[in-house]
Amino acid sequence: MQAALKFRGPEAVTEKVIAPLIELGAYEWLWQQDKASFKTLADRFAAAPDWLPSDFVDSTTALETGKRVVGLYRDRGVERFGVRIHRAGEYPTKLRHARHPVELLYYAGTWEIAELPAVSVVGTRRPSPEGLRRARKLAKLLVGNGWTVVSGLAAGIDTAAHNGALEAGGRTIAVLGTPLSESYPPENAELQRRIAKEQLVISQVPLLRYLAQKNPKSNRFFFPERNVTMSALTSATVIVEASNTSGTRTQARAALQQGEGRKLFILESCFQNPELSWPKEFEAQGAIRVSDFAQITDALGQPADEGGRPPTG
């Protein structure tokens, strides 16, 4: 029977749709509330696993906040950026291995790089010349073996790791302790621009909260937090040369805690530093003491395709 269609219209009830501008506005709003931290936010979402950031705030406030963030990013030179939101497609499930998983992060560049098998290379901001040489050489070796090098764009070891990967024509991801629009140290602004243009820069730092801090030191807590994300994004962490900076230690702890086969390598030189006791403590908990880079590549084996769907035939 060919009946003419009659429609009772409209109405689908919209239950749960991710509108990225509203979600990023809601996330930024949550970060403006008292006692906001990665832990308190993760606790709120853990208590309400069906909720999106926008479920915590009215949609008008979320939308206005989102627009403000986009405007501020534009004013500060970030014209293009993307977001990854928990429960939307493309959100990396490996981020859920973190103790306090981030619900939303910003990125600039080619997101697909985040899917590639990766290793974090981190260490002190004030390395020895030998430490710098090792970081660069290790990064080249890793990209030569098919790994993406992830680091934090800090001075010292991080910078050498990014540069080593780039010099070898490999892939590198910078996970910032600042918003996408800020650079620390400032002299790495050009390297950050290059990685955002050719590779991938990721930030979990809320822009409004960061800019609202009168004292720049108050934003320091974002740096070790990004090390947790670096570990979550990668199959292994290599600590090239250590200091007592909290970021390196935080990342070592995260690599051990997040499990799922993640490996933690600590180069021999870290054990030789009489001021540091934690390399031995982490070794006792499963970290691998490395005197030769071949130990790293042997232990890692060949990078596996993390795609999870069959290859193109």
Partner 1 sequence: MPSANLLTKVDDLLRGDHYYLDDADDCYFLWEYTARAGFAHSTTNNLILNLKKAMDRRGRPEWYYKEQAIATAGDGLAAAIRATWRLNAPLIVPAPPSKVRSNPQHDDRILQVAQRIGTALSLPIAEMLENKADRDPQHATAQRRNIQALTENLQYRAASLATPPTGILLIDDVLTTGATFTACKSVLQRNLPGMPIWGVFVARRVPEAEPDEADYGDAPEDDDW
| Binding stretches for partner 1 (CB under 8 A) | 1-22, 24, 49-50, 52, 66-67, 70, 80, 82-83, 85, 87-91, 108-113, 115, 197, 305, 307-313
Task: Name the residue nearer to partner 1 (CB basis): 15 or 34.
Answer: 15
Task: Name the residue nearer to partner 1 (CB basis): 2 or 215.
Answer: 2
Task: Name the residue nearer to partner 1 (CB basis): 5 or 284.
Answer: 5
Tokens, residue 145 = 């073996």
Tokens, residue 76 = 């500060």
Tokens, residue 22 = 């509203």
Residues with Cβ within 8 Å of residue 186, at least 6 apart in sequence: none
User: Is residue 90 a contact partner of residue 111, using CB atoms and an 8 Å limit?
Assistant: yes
Question: Least distance in Å: CB of 21 to partner 1?
Answer: 4
Q: Tell the residue number behind the tokens 């800019």, with chain if given.
A: 211
Question: Least distance in Å: CB of 232 to partner 1?
Answer: 18
Question: Least distance in Å: CB of 58 to partner 1?
Answer: 17
Task: Name the residue nearer to partner 1 (CB basis): 34 or 50.
Answer: 50
| Phi, psi at 76, each rounded to 5° | -100, 15
| Phi, psi at 148, each rounded to 5° | -90, 135
Q: Is 179 helix (H, G, I), strand (E, B) or coil?
A: coil
Residues with Cβ within 8 Å of residue 163, at least 6 apart in sequence: 136, 139, 191
Task: Name the residue nearer to partner 1 (CB basis): 4 or 284.
Answer: 4
Q: Which of 269, 288, 278, 252 is nearest to 130 (CA)?
A: 269
Question: Least distance in Å: CB of 260 to partner 1?
Answer: 18
Question: Least distance in Å: CB of 216 to partner 1?
Answer: 29
Q: How far apart are CA 142 and CA 9, in angstroms?
A: 58
Task: Name the residue nearer to partner 1 (CB basis): 281 or 305.
Answer: 305
Question: Least distance in Å: CB of 99 to partner 1?
Answer: 17
Q: Is 3 helix (H, G, I), strand (E, B) or coil?
A: coil
Q: How far apart are CA 67 and CA 212, in angstroms?
A: 17
Rg over CA atoms, the chain: 21
User: Rounded to a whole number, what is the largest CA-CA distance in the chain?
Assistant: 87
Q: Tell the residue number behind the tokens 């949550």, with chain if given.
A: 30
State the first-to-last Cα distance of the chain, in angstroms, to the nearest integer: 44
Residue 219's identity, in one-letter code, is N
Task: Name the residue nearer to partner 1 (CB basis): 34 or 260.
Answer: 260
Question: Least distance in Å: CB of 123 to partner 1?
Answer: 29
Question: Least distance in Å: CB of 114 to partner 1?
Answer: 9
Task: Name the residue nearer to partner 1 (CB basis): 22 or 255.
Answer: 22
